[in-house]
Structure 1
Amino acid sequence: MVNVRLGKSEIVVNKNGFGALPIQRVPMKESIKIIQKAYQGGINYYDTARAYTDSKKKLGIALNNVRDKVVIASKTRALNVEDFWKDLNQSLKELQTDYIDLYQFHNPPFVPKLNDNTGLYEAMIEAKEKGFIKHIGITFHKLNLADEAINSGLYETLQFPFSYLSGKEDLNIIKSCKKEDIGFIAMKAFSGGLITNGYASFGFMEKYDNVLPIWGIQKEKELDEALNNLKSPVKLNKKLIEDINNDKKDLIGEFCRGCGYCSPCSVDIKIFMCARMSLFLRRFPPELYLTEDNQKMMKQIEECTHCNKCKERCPYELDIPTLLKENYEDYKNIIAGKTKVSYVKE
């Protein structure tokens, strides 16, 4: 079993974090079973957020009896002190705990700092002094804000997207965190579900001793892969490196990661699905995405008003209206039989 130390926080956990965002989509009984199986298998880091609907309740029920044996990390999107305390108190209640090990600002539009007139960082300090939280972290999707947070010296951890599709600038963030003794937590390790080769991802993460990947887990099969990696960490071999290089050819560049920050859409386009449809059709059994419901969902793209609000909110600065249009044209061509797609199960 491989452990990772989260920088100056001195939190030490095994190198397989449990990402609780996907269990929002799983019934309560099944969720509790998955979480408890994760704990019994050795996973001791659990990531959630105030925004992840009922995931905190599920974690609270599942881990209540072993609270002192796990690390729970949560987040707040609050941009004022009043909402900060509301979020924290609600999270403590739902998690059935007196404290949260790591509390993070959740992708704010700026880096909260001391004396910045928002009072947010001061609220974090107060919460820590009162024992409601143990450590202070922050999450971002934008490189410039991540750099600013690192250089501020105020944060014990940084959570940032990182996978084998990441570029040199992302790797520099990891190096900066190591230099400043800031724990690095890797979100989007499967790039929003588009990376389907779990073992290649596991092997890639093993190269970075200061990185804690959190795997978004929804199904027991996904958990089993993570537990297998925990017991016997995957090492990259020639075949896995070849798989990674093939994925890079397909996915590096202008593609939607499915973070959802572009939403809501004023005409109810499901952007995070529609903007990735071409990739879904080529990386998964296409019949899953050619249903009548999905055809209606894609047709909604015709209602786009090109207000560009989604484009302004995208942390990856994608031209979302253009991306939607391209995916819709591709989808129509596949429906009409003009474009052929095939899926080969790995």
Structure 2
Amino acid sequence: MKKKKLGNTGIEVTPIGFGVLTVGNTQLNLPVEEGANVLRYALEKGINFLDTAQYYETYPYIRQALKDSPYKPVICSKSLDLTYSQMEFAINEALEEMDLAYIDIFLLHEVRQDPDWDDRAGAWRCLVEAKEKGLVKAIGVSTHHVDVAEKMAAIPEVDVLFPLINFKSLGIRKGDGPGTKEEMAAAIEANARAGKGVFAMKAFGGGNLTGSYLEALDYVRDLPGVDSIMIGFGSKEEVDRIVEYAEGTIDPDYIPDVSKKRIRIDQGDCEGCGACITRCPNKAIFRNGNGLAQVDPSICLTCGYCAPVCPVRAIIMF
């Protein structure tokens, strides 16, 4: 699989990366050995780019996949922390738990509109200094917000942008409201022109667009400035299909079987706004004891009407 340079970082990545969140305890919750086997299979098939995060608790999968392995993939991790000391702990934790001497990319995780950037000044300063010390090769942010992506293009220390984008604009935010794919695409291109490496998340809108497999991938792949697309995998078969896609050998009529996928709401992301409850045509979403939205799978139609109204992209399908 051909590799592309990630902006001006000097880091080379495959056009498809492996989002390790999928195998972890908030989604498929695979046993470590099983999840690591899927990871290692992806490495064997040529994928060299892995994305994880402190919040995902998936470092053990990566460590196991790389144990006694000849592969040295590019690894990106992220932290939601605000302060210098918290970020310092997060970096050291990642290095220790994945048994690494350095980590290729480390990001501020899910930066939202101002004042979130300013509130995380301590964590950002830690990343800048960690790069100077050689603990991290490249630094940047992940975000669902157009306004944040736009701002990053003008910040010299930002090496990498990891934005959310898909052909239905699912989960894209701007300020306190929704953003559009056109706005995010323009921000991505501006970052690329500024020399930032860009790899995209949620091409399938948290799984809700998987039924439009080729359309979803083609849209993001063809955006000016996108160097790689991060995709979550749960099986070797899914890896095989994405490799075929990347190499141009996939059946042009391919449509994945999504009949066994179910709508779920990530309890760590849900803010309890109730928008999905109002939108659900079959009254399959309710507030649980924690005041958060939850799906009753026995009556859910898997129509996906709820996903576009969620302001924080907490609604996923797998």
* 1:22 CA displacement: 0.7
- Tell me the secondary structure at the aligned position of residue 229 of structure 2: strand
Does 2:35 match 1:36?
A: no
Distance 2:236 2:280 in 1: 25
Aligned-pair identity in percent equals: 24
Aligned to 1:47: 51
**For residue 202 of structure 1, what is the amino acid of its counterpart?**
L
Which amino acid in the other structure matches residue 183 of structure 2? Answer: E
Contact 2:221-2:229 within 8 A present in 1 as well: no
Could you say which structure has the higher strand fraction?
Answer: 2
Are 2:20 and 2:233, in contact at CA under 8 Å, matched by a contact in 1? yes
- The offset of 1:118, in angstroms, is 3.7
Secondary structure, in 3 states, of the residue corresponding to 2:189? helix
Which one of 188, 195, 203 corresponds to residue 174 of structure 1? 188
Q: 1:342 maps to what in 2? A: none
TM (norm. structure 2) is 0.73
The residue number in structure 2 matching 1:229 is: 245
Q: Which moved more, 1:31-40 or 1:174-183?
A: 174-183
Give the secondary-structure state (helix, strand or coil) at the position aligned to 2:128: helix
1:329-340 equivalence runs, <5 A:
none
- TM superposition shift of 1:186: 0.6
Report which of the two has the higher share of helix: 1
* C-alpha deviation, 1:5, in angstroms: 2.1
Q: 2:225 aligns with which of 210, 213, 219?
A: 210
Aligned-pair Cα RMSD in Å: 3.6
Compute the displacement of 1:30 (Å): 1.0
Do 1:141 and 1:160's aligned partners in 2 also have CA atoms closer than 8 Å? yes
> What's the counterpart of residue 18 of structure 1?
18
* One-letter code aligned to 1:135: A
Q: Give runs of aligned pairs for residues 87-126 of structure 1, distance below 5 A.
A: 87-109=90-112, 110=115, 112=117, 118-126=121-129
Aligned to 1:165: 168
Q: Which amino acid aligns with 1:195?
A: L
Of 151, 162, 177, which aligns to 1:148? 151
- Paired with 2:278 and 2:197, the residues of 1 have a C-alpha distance of 32
Q: CA deviation at 1:272?
A: 11
Q: Which residue of 2 aligns with 1:60?
A: 63
Compute the displacement of 1:274 (Å). 6.4
Aligned equivalents of 1:262, 1:224: Cα separation in 2: 30
Contact map agreement 1:260 1:272 (CA 8 A) in 2? no
Q: Secondary structure of the equivalent of 1:201?
A: helix
Secondary structure in 1 matching 2:215: helix
TM-score (normalizing by structure 1):
0.68
CA-to-aligned-CA distance 1:166-203 (integer Å, 9 cap, x gap): 32111111211221111111111110110123233333
State which of 198, 201, 204 in structure 2 corresponds to 1:184. Answer: 198
SS at match of 1:152: coil
- Please list the CA deviations of residues 116-165 of structure 1 after superposition, one character each: whole Å capped at 9, or x if unmatched: 89432321122112221111111111111121122222211111111222
Task: Say whether the 8 Å CA contact 1:99–1:131 is kept in structure 2.
Answer: yes
SS at match of 1:144: helix
CA contact (8 A) 1:7 1:178 kept: yes
SS state at 2:158 partner: coil
Distance in 1, matches of 2:104 and 2:10, equals: 11
Q: Based on CA coordinates, which of the two structures has the bigger radius of gyration?
A: 1
Alpha-carbon shift at residue 80 of structure 1 (Å): 0.6
How has the CA–CA distance of structure 1 residues 227 and 124 changed in structure 2, closer, same or farther, with 3 Å as cutoff? Answer: same
* Count of aligned positions: 273
Query: In 2, distance between residues paired with 1:65 and 1:304?
Result: 43
Deviation at 1:71, TM superposition (A): 0.3
Alignment-derived partner of residue 8 in structure 1: 8
- Stretches of structure 2 that go unaligned for 5 or more consecutive residues are 170-180, 256-262, 302-318
In the TM superposition, what whole-angstrom CA distance separates every residue of 1:76-107 from its partner, at most 9, and x where no partner exists?
11101111111111111111111110000101
Looking at structure 2, the residues matched to 81 and 168 of structure 1 have their Cα atoms a distance apart, in angstroms, of 35
Deviation for aligned residue 1:67: 7.1
CA distance in structure 1 between the partners assigned to 2:18 and 2:189 by the alignment? 24
